[in-house]
Structure 1
């Protein structure tokens, strides 16, 4: 059974309406209004989740409304794009969260790190390529 209080603590923004490449050539103002409207309609939420596609993969902003901390999660470990920061900051100026008590209008951005394997070396890639070529060669020779 789902706890109604728990569900109300979280709100999500439609990623196609805020991503830079989601709505074609939508302006920063129109995309920030989508976030501002979500802030207004989810005024009791502790976290607003903003999935965003800067053009090549998905990232996530988890905005903690009480502390005004924007946790930025990116598996490629990039910094938040200027476009993303601008639309989130603009949205918070339009409609600051009701839970936030101070006059601070822009969040503190925190990049959340991932501690997995960063990338493969050329030697590791070459090893996989060699094994793949050997396997494909064996399959071809065995089917003739």
Structure 2
């Protein structure tokens, strides 16, 4: 628990340096596996892009939620619980490419946020995950970039 608290404090300090309208990209290692968390500080939404599982893990959820509470307190913002959204994204074919996929997600998001996060392109499924729809021209490009045909 002490380790999670120190991670939360460190992350909250980093969030203080971010501009409110920016998306904050956080590559996160959860024991031999990389995921990407994308935080929208304006809307208090945390997007999860996971190249293998696509499930919210309570260990990093606690770290992120605590960091956001600390951040909101230091910014004197009204405290709200962040909304978590699992984004369906290209999946790695075996168990060793997660770092590559996370870097690719970041590169793609820097170039065009709508690839994964735009509400017009995504629809929430009943399990809380998001499904990319209406982007038949974009999805093959993403899959091709990640080496998935």
Whichever of the two has the greater Rg, that structure is 1
Partner of 1:57: 33
SS in 2 for 1:93: helix
Q: Deviations over 1:73-103 (max 9, x none)?
A: 00113312111100110011111299997x3
Do the aligned residues in 2 keep the contact of 1:28 with 1:87 (CA within 8 Å)? yes
Q: Deviations over 1:16-56 (max 9, x none)?
A: xxxxxxxxx96111000111001112244521111111112
SS in 2 for 1:96: helix
Give unpaired runs (5+ residues) of structure 1. Answer: 1-24, 120-144
Give unpaired runs (5+ residues) of structure 2. Answer: 95-149
Aligned residues: 94
Do the aligned residues in 1 keep the contact of 2:20 with 2:41 (CA within 8 Å)? no
SS in 2 for 1:49: strand
Runs of 4+, deviation exceeding 2 Å: 97-101, 103-106, 114-119
Q: Provide the C-alpha distance between the structure 1 equivalents of 2:27 and 2:2, rounded to a whole number of angstroms.
A: 17
Q: Provide the C-alpha distance between the structure 2 equivalents of 1:97 and 1:63, rounded to a whole number of angstroms.
A: 17
Deviation of residue 106 (structure 1)?
2.2
So what's the TM-score if we normalise by structure 1? Answer: 0.55
Could you say what the CA RMSD is over the residues aligned between the two structures, in angstroms?
3.0
